[in-house]
Structure 1
Amino acid sequence: MNWEQLLSLKRYGDTNKRLRKEQDETRLGFEVDYDRIIFSSEFRGLQDKTQVVPLSKTDFVHTRLTHSLEVSVVGRSLGRRVGKLLLEKHPHLENVHGYRMNDFGAIVAAAALAHDIGNPPFGHSGEKAIGSYFKDGDGAQFKSLLTAKEYQDLCDFEGNANGFKILTEGRAGREGGLRLSYATLGAFTKYPKESLPKKPTMHIVDKKYGFFQSEKEMFKNVAAELGLESRSNEHLSYHRHPLAYLVEAADDICYTIIDFEDGINLGLIQEEYALEYLINLVRGKIKTKNYNALKTTEDRVSYLRALAIGTLIDEAALLFMKHEDAILAGKFETALLDVSQYKAQIKDIIDLSVTKVYCSKEVINKEIAGYEILNQLLNAYGKMAFNVFEDNCSNYDELLKNILPETVKLTNDSLYNNLLAVCLYISKLSDTNAMLLHQKLKGHIL
């Protein structure tokens, strides 16, 4: 893979190649990607979606929206840091092609901003709830009517693949979805493979999958434009866009440090534990006088959090450059922070977060409620999607169809597309709207 192709400004529908040196310096093509994402209705919907604690009424707990914004900020800094080093190593990218340090930051920032845009309500338990409906619930009846890969898309419903669908799916009067640059779409796709085979190797690319069968051809176009190299002759799988490693690192940094901070602010993690774990990560970088002047837990944690994030940004940038050749050759098989000198400290923080936050009764009880809500929604809409396919709609099915947005298209042509459209509709619901729709289906007048 080569950077000239990987930094493509092409968008869906373009017939001519866009050149970086032809761009308006006041609003670069990659920065347009960021703007299109942030003004999209799907991004706005993240403000009422779970990050760690579902349905929290506490102001300082992160939602998917605030988490995404913070990952984007970290991603921009990380992208610029790496961009500066790459241009020093490959000066022709600037001298011949006109790329700037900020271009790398803009690509990573936009992809990071969108990294959770496909996540359903109630956090990762929402993904599991959708998958369980098709694997173990009433949706299992559709298995014989789908191809193996179509069925696997649903059984392992994946927020990353759903995000690619949201970013690229055609809309009324506009093909290509948000029409983002292919460079940003490549950086967004951490797992550039289809759902089967499932985890064929231990390579980081095989951890999950990145596009549904419905977007298979679209991703093939993106991969061809970017020059992503194929990893298999038997199924659709590609080496990652190198900047996807930076998007992943930005997310890893934020959820490691900031989810930990949420646990502290919620009182789920005691201050003495928190300070000890963060100090272990930034030891030697604390200005003792400044730190000792801080009077509150929140201020002390905030100070250490900023140091920790800065430390890990520096570390991720250096690791990327150290392994750049292997990354471009598709031979780097782990996340950047998995080879960090701070790996042990990061693991300690995550382990404590898992024990004290992710497995807390508050989180688990609300995830159970979310699981039941999504299962009931899928029971109703899955049956309706099947009946539309069979041309056998009941009066109740017609009522359900009438409250769907106009963008949800159900036909008798493809059961897979119908089921995926229903999943997409439910995945876009906020936590609150999923609860309200559930109440309607149970017969409660709101």
Structure 2
Amino acid sequence: MNWEKLLSLKRFGDTNKRLRKEQDETRLGFEVDYDRVIFSAEFRSLQDKTQVIPLSQTDFVHTRLTHSLEVSVVARSLGRKVGLRLLEKYPHLQSIHGYQANDFGAIVASAALAHDIGNPPFGHSGEKAIGEFFKTGEGKKYKDQLSAKEYQDLCDFEGNANGFKIVTENREGRQGGLRLSYATLGAFMKYPKESLPKKPSKHIADKKYGFFQSEKEAFLDVANELGLISRSDTDVSFSRHPLAFLVEAADDICYTIIDFEDGINLGLIQEEYALEYLINLVKETINTKKYNQLSNTQDRVSYLRALAINTLINEAVDIFIANEEAILKDEFQMALLDKSKYEAQINDIIKISVDNVYQSTEVIDKEISGYQVLNTLLKVYTDAVNNSYDQNPTNYDKLIVKSLPESVIVNEDSLYLRLLRLCNYVSLLSDSKAIMVYKKINGLSFNI
């Protein structure tokens, strides 16, 4: 891989090459990507989607939207710092092509902003609930009518693949989805492979998959334009775009440190753990006098959080630069922070969060309810749409189909596309909207 191709400004439908040195410096193409994500309806719905703690009324807790904004801020810093180092190593990128350090920051920030845009309601349990509907629930009846890869897309419904669908899918009047630059799309694709084959592998890019069969051609277009390395002669699997490692690092830093902070502020984790587990991250930068002057838990933990994030940003940048050539050859096979000297401390913090936050009663109750809500919606919608397509709908089916928005195309000849569109529709519901629709379907929303 080479950076000239990896930094492509191309967008879906372009017929002429976009050159960096010809860009308007007041509104760069990579910065336009950020704006398009921010103003999308799919991004706005994240304001009412669970990050970890569900439907909480406290100001402490992060939603998917606040998490995504924070990840994008960390990602921007990572990208800019890496950009400065890369331009020193490859000065022609700046002198000949016109790239600036901030371009790297804008690409990584935009991809990070969109990284959760495809996640269903109710956190990661939402993905599992959709998958279980097809794997073990009512949706299993469709298995024999789908190809193996189509069925696997549904059984392992993946927020990353759904996100790629959202940002690239052609719709009437909206060709190319959000029409993001290919560089940003590349950085967005943390798992550049299809759902099958599922191979045991230590390569970080094989952990999940990154696109549905419906977006296969769009994915190949992006991968080939960027010059990603093909990793299979028979199936679609490519190397990561190098900047995807920075998007992943930004996400890892935020959920490690900020979920820990949330747990402390909610009283699920003792405040004493904050200093005990963060001290090795902040001991070189902490101002003990300032820390001791802070009068409340929220301010003390906020101070430690800021220092810890800064430490991990610098650590991730150093690891990336030290391994940049291996990354370009697809010879670096782990997340950046897995190679960190702070790996033990990071794992300790994550374990505390898992035990005290992710497995708290409130979170488990949310996941139980989420399974029931999503299972009900999928059964009702898939039955109604497929009965209508087969021309034997009940009156109830007709009402359900009429309740769907016009953007949900229900008359696709492909069963796979009908099912995937319904999964996509359900995934875009906020937590509250999903519950509201569930109540309506179950006759619980009447005001008598």
Contact 1:192 1:238 in 2 (8 A): yes
Q: For residue 123 of structure 2, what is the aligned residue in structure 1?
A: 123
Take 2:67 and 2:248, find their aligned partners in 1: how far apart are those partners? 13
Take 1:313 and 1:199, find their aligned partners in 2: how far apart are those partners? 31
Take 2:417 and 2:117, find their aligned partners in 1: how far apart are those partners? 20
Deviation at 1:389, TM superposition (A): 3.6
SS in 2 for 1:167: helix
Number of matched pairs: 446
SS in 2 for 1:423: helix
Take 2:12 and 2:281, find their aligned partners in 1: how far apart are those partners? 43
Contact 1:10 1:18 in 2 (8 A): yes
Take 2:34 and 2:140, find their aligned partners in 1: how far apart are those partners? 39
Structure 2 unmatched runs, 5+: none
Give the partner amino acid of 2:5. Answer: Q
Take 1:314 and 1:389, find their aligned partners in 2: how far apart are those partners? 55
Give the partner amino acid of 1:186. Answer: G
Q: For residue 169 of structure 2, what is the aligned residue in structure 1?
A: 169
Take 1:57 and 1:125, find their aligned partners in 2: how far apart are those partners? 21
Contact 2:76 2:106 in 1 (8 A): yes
Matches within 5 A, 1:123-142: 123-142=123-142
Identity of aligned residues (%): 71
Contact 1:389 1:415 in 2 (8 A): no
Q: For residue 4 of structure 1, what is the aligned residue in structure 2?
A: 4
Deviation at 1:281, TM superposition (A): 2.0
Give the partner amino acid of 1:223. Answer: A
Give the partner amino acid of 1:174. Answer: R
Q: Structure 1 pair 288/412, CA: closer, same or farther in 2 (3 Å)?
A: closer
Q: For residue 287 of structure 2, what is the aligned residue in structure 1?
A: 287
Deviation at 1:393, TM superposition (A): 2.2
SS in 2 for 1:384: helix
Take 2:188 and 2:397, find their aligned partners in 1: how far apart are those partners? 36
Deviation at 1:275, TM superposition (A): 2.1
Q: Structure 1 pair 388/229, CA: closer, same or farther in 2 (3 Å)?
A: farther
Deviation at 1:152, TM superposition (A): 0.1
Q: For residue 109 of structure 1, what is the aligned residue in structure 2?
A: 109
Take 2:149 and 2:200, find their aligned partners in 1: how far apart are those partners? 14
Residue 301 (structure 1) aligned with residue 301 (structure 2) = yes
Output one character per residue of 1:347-392: Cα deviation in whole Å (capped at 9) or x when no partner.
0000000000000111101111111111111110121232234233
Take 1:234 and 1:94, find their aligned partners in 2: how far apart are those partners? 38
Contact 1:199 1:208 in 2 (8 A): no
Take 1:398 and 1:3, find their aligned partners in 2: how far apart are those partners? 53
Residues 394-403 or 354-363, more deviating: 394-403
Take 2:264 and 2:388, find their aligned partners in 1: how far apart are those partners? 49
Output one character per residue of 1:293-341: Cα deviation in whole Å (capped at 9) or x when no partner.
1111111101100000000000000100000001000111000000000
Give the partner amino acid of 1:218. Answer: A
Take 2:367 and 2:266, find their aligned partners in 1: how far apart are those partners? 17
Matches within 5 A, 1:29-428: 29-428=29-428
Output one character per residue of 1:174-196: Cα deviation in whole Å (capped at 9) or x when no partner.
21000000000000000000000
Output one character per residue of 1:146-186: Cα deviation in whole Å (capped at 9) or x when no partner.
00000000000000000000001112312100000000000
Take 1:46 and 1:355, find their aligned partners in 2: how far apart are those partners? 25
Deviation at 1:200, TM superposition (A): 4.1
TM-score by length of 1: 0.99
Output one character per residue of 1:211-257: Cα deviation in whole Å (capped at 9) or x when no partner.
00000000000011100110001210000000000000000000000
SS in 1 for 2:235: coil
SS in 2 for 1:201: coil
Take 2:412 and 2:159, find their aligned partners in 1: how far apart are those partners? 26
RMSD (Å) for aligned C-alpha atoms: 0.9
SS in 2 for 1:5: helix
Give the partner amino acid of 1:303. Answer: Y
Output one character per residue of 1:123-165: Cα deviation in whole Å (capped at 9) or x when no partner.
0000000000000000000000000000000000000000000
Take 1:82 and 1:203, find their aligned partners in 2: how far apart are those partners? 23
Take 1:42 and 1:167, find their aligned partners in 2: how far apart are those partners? 9
Output one character per residue of 1:109-129: Cα deviation in whole Å (capped at 9) or x when no partner.
000000000000000000000
Residues 52-61 or 95-104, more deviating: 52-61
Take 1:28 and 1:281, find their aligned partners in 2: how far apart are those partners? 35
Take 2:60 and 2:273, find their aligned partners in 1: how far apart are those partners? 20
Contact 2:388 2:398 in 1 (8 A): no
Residues 159-168 or 171-180, more deviating: 171-180
Structure 1 unmatched runs, 5+: none
Take 1:296 and 1:59, find their aligned partners in 2: how far apart are those partners? 16
Deviation at 1:400, TM superposition (A): 1.1
Output one character per residue of 1:66-95: Cα deviation in whole Å (capped at 9) or x when no partner.
000000000000000000000000000000
Take 2:284 and 2:201, find their aligned partners in 1: how far apart are those partners? 39
